[in-house]
Amino acid sequence: MRRRISIVAAAAFAAALLAGPPALADEKDDAKNDPFKHMTVEEVAQVLGKPNVHVYDGNSKDTYRKQGHLPGAVQLWSKSMKRGDLPENLDATLIFYCQNVH
């Protein structure tokens, strides 16, 4: 079975997505080959709290504490991730988000 992984980039509270510049041709090609599903804030809101859905906040500990986070989100820095940080259930839906401001 393949692990279904979801990812969403959101502002600090994931209340609104920040619109970036129009996608260039190379960015469109990258998006086609992206193995992750990108979700809107509304899509994330629909699955929050459902069984087998796990939410991870990739912001720093300081940002996680000071700027807030989605309800139930676990702060998890990608560079410090280790075995056991993610659920063993390979059918789990994992949602990763971070503050991504350009």
Name the region of 30 (left: φ>0; alpha: ψ -120 to 50; beta: rest). alpha
| Residues 98, 44: Cα–Cα separation, whole Å | 13
Name the region of 41 (left: φ>0; alpha: ψ -120 to 50; beta: rest). alpha
Q: Which residue in 45, 65, 63 sits closest to 55, CA to CA?
A: 45
Tens digit of each residue's pLDDT (9 = 90 or more) over 67-102: 889 888 999 988 888 889 999 999 999 999 988 654
**Contacts (Cβ under 8 Å, ≥6 apart) of 54:** 74, 86, 87, 92, 93, 94, 95
Tens digit of each residue's pLDDT (9 = 90 or more) over 1-37: 333 333 333 322 233 323 334 444 555 666 677 888 8
Stated pTM of the model: 0.64
**Contacts (Cβ under 8 Å, ≥6 apart) of 45:** none
